[in-house]
Amino acid sequence: MRWWLPDAGSTFAGPIDTLFLAILIITGIALAVVEVGLVTFVIKYRARPGRKAFYTHGSTRAEVIWTAIPAVTMVALGLISNHYWVLIKDKKSIPPNAYHVGVHAKQFEWQVTYPGPDGKLGTSDDFTVRNQLHVTVNEPIAVELTSEDVIHSFFVPEFRLKQDAVPGMHIMAWFQATKTGEFELGCAELCGMGHYKMRARVFVHTPDQYKAWVAQQAAGGSE
């Protein structure tokens, strides 16, 4: 039984999970204040014969305090978040040496195109595999997302990576995996009745394992 976010599998997981935790603490404190306040008041101020409520229309000072604190907190949160947002989603943040992979989504499968032995996407030695994403660990990977038909969404939970694939658009996403192993990819945008089974397997290899796999694919083999 899992109770938390998936295990960290990419360089994004660190900042995102830390931010998540920070928000959890902030909202947790706010929640505690409100809920404890409610329970306290419910007990302390319940009606008893002979009591009267305290007649007041409010307090400007209180209003200022409980407006300013949330506002400042939200602004700070925004500034910190934006720093990582740009790092993850901005096209200019994609490392220039990133290894490019093409992912073409369609009802109901993922067609992944690899650059082949020459390492360049868009050349004659490219090959396409269905529902399998193979990458090298500790190497920045740039995903060129396209869609055949409707909107799908490329989602690998361990990588903290999600990006919609939109027909008519060529969208770039990137990540850098931090541990080897096998993971899963799911579609995170309702794309029809087969949406639930748009599952792909994600393999993070060591550099040698990856080279071997590419060679095997290029020679016409299949996993």
Give the footprint of another protein on residues 111-140 (CB under 8 A): none
List binders of another protein among 2-31 (CB under 8 A): 2-6, 12, 15-16, 19-20, 23-24, 26-27, 30-31
Q: CB nearer to another protein: give 71 or 215.
A: 71
User: Cis omega before residue 108 (within 30°)?
Assistant: yes
* Residue 73, helix vs strand vs coil: helix
CA 96 to the chain's CA centroid: 22
Interface pick for another protein out of 104, 162, 178, 209 (rule CB under 8 A): 162
* Residue 28, helix vs strand vs coil: helix
Using CB under 8 A as the binding rule, whether residue 191 contacts another protein is answered as: yes
Using CB under 8 A as the binding rule, whether residue 161 contacts another protein is answered as: yes
Interface pick for another protein out of 81, 131, 132, 180 (rule CB under 8 A): 81
Burial of 69 (0-12, 13-18, 19+ CB in 10 A): exposed
Candidates 111-119, 120-128, 131-139, 155-163; binding stretch for another protein (CB under 8 A): 155-163
Q: CB nearer to another protein: give 83 or 211.
A: 83
Interface pick for another protein out of 120, 179, 199, 211 (rule CB under 8 A): 199
Beta bridge partners of 172: 144
For residues 118 and 125, the answer to whether their CB atoms sit within 8 Å is yes
Candidates 65-73, 111-119, 135-143, 203-211; binding stretch for another protein (CB under 8 A): 65-73
Q: CB nearer to another protein: give 194 or 207.
A: 194
Using CB under 8 A as the binding rule, whether residue 75 contacts another protein is answered as: yes
Angle at 219 between CA 213 and CA 222, to 5 degrees: 60
Q: CB nearer to another protein: give 62 or 219.
A: 62
For the beta sheet containing 109-114, the strands, ordered from the edge strand earlier in sequence to the opposite edge, are 127-130, 109-114, 99-106, 140-147, 171-176
Unique residue bearing structure tokens 């595999």: 129
In whole angstroms, the minimum distance from the beta carbon of 106 to another protein comes to 10
Q: CB nearer to another protein: give 199 or 211.
A: 199
Main-chain dihedrals φ then ψ at residue 50, nearest 5 degrees: 90, -10
Treating both helix axes as pointing N-terminal to C-terminal, what angle do 13-44 and 60-89 enclose, rounded to 10 degrees? Answer: 160
